[in-house]
Amino acid sequence: MTSVLLVDDQELVRLGLRALVEATEGLTIAGEAADGIAAVALARATRPDVVLMDIRMPGIDGLEATRRIVGDPDLSHTRVLVLTTFELDEYVFDALRHGASGFLLKNTPPATLVEAIETVADGGALLSPSVTRTLIREFTANAPRRPRPHPRLADLTEREREVVTLVAEGMNNKEIAERLVVSPATARTHVSRAMIKLGARDRAQLVVFAFQSGLA
C-alpha cells in the first residue's frame, strides 16, 4: 500500500485529491497539511511514500518544505511530487534542485496523476516531455550560469554522459533507445548506472546534474 501525504493551502484542492487517492486501489492517505511547516512535521510523523506538494503556500513554501523533507535522513524513502497551477512557474527548477521527483500541473487528468504517484513511489521520476522541454528553454534563456561540474562526472563513460544529456532533453528510455539505436533495456541500464555513479535519487535529479554540469 502506497501512503500519500496531501499538501495544499486550498481545502477544495485537498478534498479532490483525497477523493482520488481514496478511490484508487493500492493508495492510502497518510494525512493532509495546509502549509509547509505542517507538511514537514506530518511527513516526519507519518513517513509517507509520496508527498503531493503545492508550491505557493503561507509560512514556508513548498520549495523549502521539499528541501527539509528530502534532506531528512529518516525520510530517505519519501518522494515529493510537486503540483502547481502554472507550467511556466519560475520555481520548477528550484523544486527539482531541492529534491522533488516530479512536477505536474493541477489540471492533470486523474488517471495520469495516479500513474505519477505510482511511478514516483517506485523510485522513478515524472517529468512530462512538455514540462521538461519548457523548463530547459526557460532555464537556459533566463538563467545565465557558469557550469559547476558534478564531482563524479568523470566517472561516467562517454555513452553514459550522452544518455544523461538525453534525459535532460526530456526523453524517456524508449526515445533514448531509438536515438542511440539500442534496446530499451540497454538504455535503462545506462540511465541506472549514471544515476548510481552520480548519486542521483532519481531521474529528475539527473536533469539537475546535467544543467549544473553543463551537459544541457
What DSSP letter does each residue of 117-153 carry, written as one string? HHHHHTT--EE-HHHHHHHHHHHHHH--------TTG
Domain count, the chain: 2
- 91 and 186 belong to one structural domain: no
| pTM over 0.85, yes/no | no
Tens of pLDDT, residue by residue over 159-192, are 999 999 998 877 878 889 999 999 989 998 999 8
200-214 per-position pLDDT tens digit: 877 777 877 887 788
Do residue 183 and residue 105 come from a single domain? no
pLDDT at 84: 80
Judgement on whether residues 152 and 133 belong to the same structural domain of the protein: no
pLDDT truncated to tens, each residue of the chain (216 aa)?
Answer: 999 999 999 999 999 999 999 999 999 999 999 999 999 999 999 999 999 999 888 889 898 999 999 989 999 889 999 888 765 556 666 777 778 888 788 888 899 899 889 888 877 666 655 555 556 555 555 555 566 788 898 999 999 999 999 988 778 788 899 999 999 899 989 998 998 999 887 777 787 788 778 887
Same domain, 132 and 166: no
**The pLDDT of residue 131:** 59
Same domain, 70 and 133: yes
DSSP 8-state secondary structure symbol assigned to residue 169: T
Residues 13 and 54: beta-carbon distance below 8 Å: yes
Q: By the 8 A CB rule, do 26 and 18 touch?
A: no
Q: Specify whether 47 is located in the same domain as 95.
A: yes
Of 92, 119, 138, the residue that ends a domain is: 138
In this structure, what C-alpha cell is assigned to residue 202?
532519481
Do 96 and 203 reside in the same domain of the chain?
no
Same domain, 120 and 41: yes
Q: State whether 115 and 200 are in the same domain.
A: no
Domain end marker among 113, 138, 163: 138
Same domain, 85 and 45: yes
Quick one: 92 and 133 in the same domain?
yes
User: What's the confidence (pLDDT) of residue 78?
Assistant: 94
Residue 83 pairs in a beta bridge with 54, 104
The domain that holds 161 is classified in CATH as: 1.10.10.10
Last residue of a domain, one of 110, 138, 166: 138
Instruction: Give the residue numbers spanning the domain of 50.
Output: 2-138
Sheet of strand 126-127: strand arrangement: 27-33, 2-7, 50-54, 79-84, 102-105, 126-127
- In this structure, what CATH number is given to the domain that contains residue 73? 3.40.50.2300
For the record, the C-alpha cell of 193 comes out as 548506472
Same domain as 64, residue 10: yes
Query: What is the model's pLDDT at position 99?
Result: 81
Instruction: For residues 99 and 151, give the distance between their C-alpha atoms in angstroms, rounded to a whole number.
Output: 18
